[in-house]
Each structure stands twice: as structure tokens, then as C-alpha cells.
Amino acid sequence: MSKRFDVIVIGMGPGGETVAQRLMAAGKSVAVVEKELIGGECPYWACMPSKALLRPVEARAEASHAAGISTPAVDWAKIRNYRDIIVGYHDDSSRVDAYRSDGATVIKGEGRLAGPGQVTVNGERLTADNIILATGSRQAWPSVEGLDQVPVWTNREATSLTEIPERALLIGGSAVGVELGTFLSRMGSRVTIVQRGPRLLGREVPELSELVAARLVKDGIDVRVRCQARAVRREGQDTVVELDDGTSVRVDVVVLASGRALRTDLGLESVGVRTGARGEVPIDQHCRVADGLWAVGDITGVALFTHMALYQGRVVADNILGTPHVANYTGIPRVVFAEPEIAAVGLTTDAARRQGIDVATAQIDLPRSIRRPETYETEPSGTLGLIADRSRRILVGAWAVSPLAGEWIHTGALAVRAQLPIDVLLDGIAQFPTYNEAYYEAAAALGL
């Protein structure tokens, strides 16, 4: 005898939680199935601990750049303790209780599809009108000889660290690599980042990658591009990483920042669904996989961010509740919480050209263009780049490397999403003196 619900959510990260909460609030009977902790990767091993760890090193750097402040000391024991509070000591019991008291059936176990409208978990069969797949992603394991013989941190060990390693080598120069590399180096580790591609943050514009690499190198990080770890071995207490440029690096720990594997081993074949070229669960514009089957978050492969999972969760809940909602992925912000912050939105120059857009670009140096940087720090810095569609006179992309860029990129995000005419940016009034004023200056520099 199977248990019947209106909705079953498999995977309770940010995406699954959003759908579950909205449907419960609308009076649906909801079963949530989670094999680890309710909340998913983000609050325990990803966004939240990494940002809590990065904030003190950012605050220290900001203080040391402000006039007349002596550099504050960093207290690792207190940072670590605060991180432990932020991750709720990896205990989800209060979240489980909250769902139960709000009327959900909470099942701890691994859920699998067992045919249309059916899920099995812990040997039990559940049925529902709507099933939501929200199982997220895990660390992808690169093929490096000997990796199983040496100390290796995935994002989980890296964000749960209790001691700062003296020397670390990060495999991967994307957002996670840049953030963890920044943190470890600012905490005193000798850091090497190896990046297989020709540049760090390879999906962003090359100008941004250059600024970021220069900043990391200034911090003392050994950045190696077009370089891969070939093999690793243990030598006494050391791990020796052999690189394909013929050199080797001696470290205490290897940190993986080499991308994510989507968790799609879910019995998809039982409903006739095949994953796509990047291993993603294919969805339509409503985030529907098939009749009564939906997917949200990392497993859709659209963009591996919490804000994407939350958005798709809202889209699915609306569609199930009878308010048709087509997902619009224009203008999704992409922030790397390094110091200074790195932020981008919309298309890169190359992506815009590939779409046949007649592209105009501008890049401005913030200290030369606006006054906020010099009030903010004694060695003012920062860059804003804009990518515009010349014929439609709208922004299609923006990027920035600057203090607080993760906050003020949202002006660009809104402009891209709303297809705001450049003339509105040129006639807009931003508060003086703020970083946001840079949009006016950069829009003028487009020369449209």
C-alpha cells in the first residue's frame, strides 16, 4: 500500500525547500525526502560557511585600506566558532521539526523515481500528482593519479576546516577556487591555484580574468594557467603534486575546486527521461521534466547558484498552483566573494557576438571616473565594464572588480533584465558618492 501526497520533493536544498514551503503554504499535502541535511549544500558546506569565513579577511583588508585605521588582528578560533554557528553545527533537527509542525511529512532517506508519479524511499512506495527533483550537485572528482592516497578537501572539508594548512594547492580556478584561494592565502597559507584553461574564471570576459589573476598574484598566490595536476603522491608528511608543465609542488593538502557533478542517479529511466549533454535533467521553460515531474536547482544545469535554485523553485510552485510562470534567465548575477568582490551579469562580449549582437563595450577605471573609491580606500581601485547592444541601445552584460561589486552589480542586473534603454542610465541620478555612479560614466563611455 503506497502513501499518497499532492507533492513529493526529492532533495531539500534551497530549490526543494522553496517549492515545499510555497506548496505547503497553499494547503497542499507535501512529503519531503532528504538523504542528508534539510537545507542542502548551501547552508552547511557551500555559500554560507564560505562567506562567513571570507568576511573577516575582507573586513581586515578593507580596514587596512581605509585612512587612519590600524590593521585589525584576525582571531582564527573566533572565526571558526562563528562559522560553526552559521552552519548550525551541521544539525538540521530544528528544520525537520519546523517542517513537521507546518504539516509536512519529512522522510530521511534516499528517494528514487519508480515510474510516473511514484517514488521509493527506505523500501516504502509513495505516490503524488507532482514530484519535484531538487537533488543538487556534489564535488566532481578529477582524474589525477594517486588522488585517493593523499589528503584531499572537497568543498565540504574546505568549509569545515579547523586548522589553516601551511601550504595548499587548489585544482580549479573558477569561483570556488578563487574564493577558497583568497581565504587560505589571507589566513597565511602558501597557495597554488592550477587552472586547466587559459585563464581564471574562464567563463567571464578576459579583462576580468586578468584583473583577478593580477590581484591574486599580488596576494602572493602562485597562479598557474594552462596547467593540470598529473599525479600526486605522499612523501613523509608532504603531498607532492606533479604538474603537466614538468614542475611539482609540495603541499599539505589538495583542495578540489574542479567543478560539480549533478546528482541525477534518481531512477530517471523509470519515467523515460535521459540526462542532457552536461549530465543535466532536461526541463522546459516552466521547469517541467514530464507530466507531473519538475526539476529545480543545480540538477537542471542552468546556472549552479542558490539564487537560481530559489528562482526555479518559485517558478515551479507557481506553475503547480495554476499561475503559469515561464522562467526568464536573463540577467542572473554571478558574484565571486573575493577581496575585492568580482561580479558579472548577463552576456560576455564573446557570447553577445555569438548571438549576432552588434556589440559596443566600455571599461572604466573607477578612481579616475567617480569619487567614491578615494573616500573608501587610500589606494583606490576598481573597474566596471559594460557590454551593450548598439542597435537596440540596451545593456546585455556588465562586470566589475571592486569593493562592494556584489551589491551594486544589481543595477546592471536590473538593466539587463528589464532591457533598460541606455538613455535612462545616461539620464539617471545615482547618489553621490557611491560606486553605483559608475554606471553613468561607463554608459557614457559606450559612445552610443
Ligand X SMILES: Cc1cc2nc3c(=O)[nH]c(=O)nc-3n(C[C@H](O)[C@H](O)[C@H](O)COP(=O)(O)OP(=O)(O)OC[C@H]3O[C@@H](n4cnc5c(N)ncnc54)[C@H](O)[C@@H]3O)c2cc1C
**Dist. CA 342–CA 209, nearest whole Å:** 10
Is 383 in contact with 366 (CB distance < 8 Å)? yes
| C-alpha to C-alpha distances, 253 to 53, 74, 76, 143, 151, nearest whole angstrom | 18, 22, 19, 17, 5
Stretch that binds ligand X, among 54-62, 246-254, 284-292, 297-305 (CB under 6 A): 297-305
Q: Does 110 bind ligand X (CB under 6 A)?
A: yes
**Dist. CA 203–CA 167, nearest whole Å:** 27
Q: Does 266 bind ligand X (CB under 6 A)?
A: yes
Report in angstroms how near the CB of residue 342 gets to ligand X at its nearest.
12
Cα 135 to chain centroid, rounded: 16
One residue of 191, 304, 345, 442 binding ligand X per CB under 6 A = 304
Report in angstroms how near the CB of residue 316 gets to ligand X at its nearest.
12
Report in angstroms how near the CB of residue 63 gets to ligand X at its nearest.
23
Report in angstroms how near the CB of residue 18 gets to ligand X at its nearest.
8
One residue of 24, 176, 241, 327 binding ligand X per CB under 6 A = 176
Q: At what angle do helices 405-418 and 438-445 cross, to 10 degrees?
A: 50
Rank residues 208 and 309 by Cβ distance to ligand X and give the closer one: 309
Which residues on adjacent β-strands are paired with residue 383? 365, 401
One residue of 8, 9, 13, 65 binding ligand X per CB under 6 A = 13
**Dist. CA 137–CA 41, nearest whole Å:** 8
Report in angstroms how near the CB of residue 383 gets to ligand X at its nearest.
21
- Give the CA dihedral 10, 12, 15, 19, nearest 10 degrees: 70
Q: Does 297 bind ligand X (CB under 6 A)?
A: yes
Q: Does 134 bind ligand X (CB under 6 A)?
A: yes
By beta-carbon distance, which residue lies closest to ligand X? 136
If binding means CB under 6 A, how many residues of this protein chain bind ligand X?
Answer: 37
Q: Does 152 bind ligand X (CB under 6 A)?
A: no
**Dist. CA 239–CA 37, nearest whole Å:** 32
Which residues on adjacent β-strands are paired with residue 133? 10, 295
One residue of 7, 16, 425, 438 binding ligand X per CB under 6 A = 16
Is 221 in contact with 190 (CB distance < 8 Å)? no
Q: Does 87 bind ligand X (CB under 6 A)?
A: no
At 406, list the grid cell. 556584489
Q: Does 136 bind ligand X (CB under 6 A)?
A: yes
Report in angstroms how near the CB of residue 306 gets to ligand X at its nearest.
4
Rank residues 263 and 417 by Cβ distance to ligand X and give the closer one: 263
Is 416 in contact with 395 (CB distance < 8 Å)? yes
**Dist. CA 396–CA 332, nearest whole Å:** 11
Q: How many CB atoms lie within 10 A of CB 416?
A: 24
Rank residues 331 and 380 by Cβ distance to ligand X and give the closer one: 331
E-only strand ranges, 302-425: 333-336, 341-346, 359-365, 383-389, 394-402
Report in angstroms how near the CB of residue 38 gets to ligand X at its nearest.
7
21-60 residues in contact with ligand X (CB under 6 A) are: 33-37, 40-42, 46-47, 50-51
Q: Does 367 bind ligand X (CB under 6 A)?
A: no
Bond from prior residue into 116 cis (ω within 30 degrees of 0): no
One residue of 7, 15, 251, 360 binding ligand X per CB under 6 A = 15
Give the residues lining the site for ligand X (CB under 6 A): 10-16, 33-37, 40-42, 46-47, 50-51, 110-111, 134-137, 155, 159, 176, 263, 266, 297-298, 304-307, 309
